[in-house]
Amino acid sequence: ETGVTQSPTHLIKTRGQQVTLRCSSQSGHNTVSWYQQALGQGPQFIFQYYREEENGRGNFPPRFSGLQFPNYSSELNVNALELDDSALYLCASSRRDRSADTQYFGPGTRLTVL
Amino acid sequence: KQEVTQIPAALSVPEGENLVLNCSFTDSAIYNLQWFRQDPGKGLTSLLLIQSSQREQTSGRLNASLDKSSGRSTLYIAASQPGDSATYLCAPLSGGGADGLTFGKGTHLIIQP
């Protein structure tokens, strides 16, 4: 059983640019959630995808968007990058048909906005 | 809106001690609660998941308890080891699961050899 993977590991962008982060779910999982973790803080929920549709969203503006593909992999897109978007971005996968199932996290993508 | 508080924020103890980490949450309508550890700059490793109908869960030297009605969970670490040094995060799942996990700032734990 393969774990959750994310790419790239690190990324440096400048303010105003756009970025795409990628996540491959753990085998057998159909739900992907994305989280933003600023330095010294706990992760904050961005949104969740199930069956290729956004299923829930935290307090993040529309310039944060996502996709889920038929193979359950996912992308997080951030437009018009701001300095405060610098953070560790984590994705987590789980099985939606078992709503109380464990969420497994990937290693994260460290985004730096200059 | 769910809010999570973890006490203490930081803890440094000698190897071999038994530890208790505390987590409190404001909305008791949760589906489950997970405990994670995070090493510096890394992702989260799931330690234990407690279903809302359970009172406790054990894995090796770790034991987590849940009192949903009072909005509290504790993580007990027996016979601590230097390899246990990490940040420990608790995260309840609420809102039908679609609200995602809510995290506190965690407890930064250092086990001295």
pLDDT in tens, B63-93: 999 999 999 999 999 999 999 999 999 999 9
Can you give the C-alpha Rg of chain A in angstroms?
13
Average pLDDT rounded to a whole number, residues B26-44? 93
Question: Which chain B residues touch A90 with a CB distance below 8 Å?
Answer: 43-44
B62 touches chain A (CB under 8 A): no
Better pLDDT: B110 or A28: B110
Q: Are B66 and B53 in contact (CB under 8 A)?
A: no
Q: Return phi, psi of residue B9, to 5°.
A: -75, -30
Specify the 3-state DSSP secondary structure of A45. strand
Q: Residue A98 — pLDDT band, cuts 50, 70, 90?
A: low
Question: Which chain A residues touch B32 with a CB distance below 8 Å?
Answer: 100
Average pLDDT rounded to a whole number, residues B20-29? 95
Average pLDDT rounded to a whole number, residues B44-51? 94
Check whether B99 has a pLDDT greater than 90: no
Determine the residue of chain A that is closest to B54 in CA distance.
A100
Q: Are B54 and B66 in contact (CB under 8 A)?
A: yes
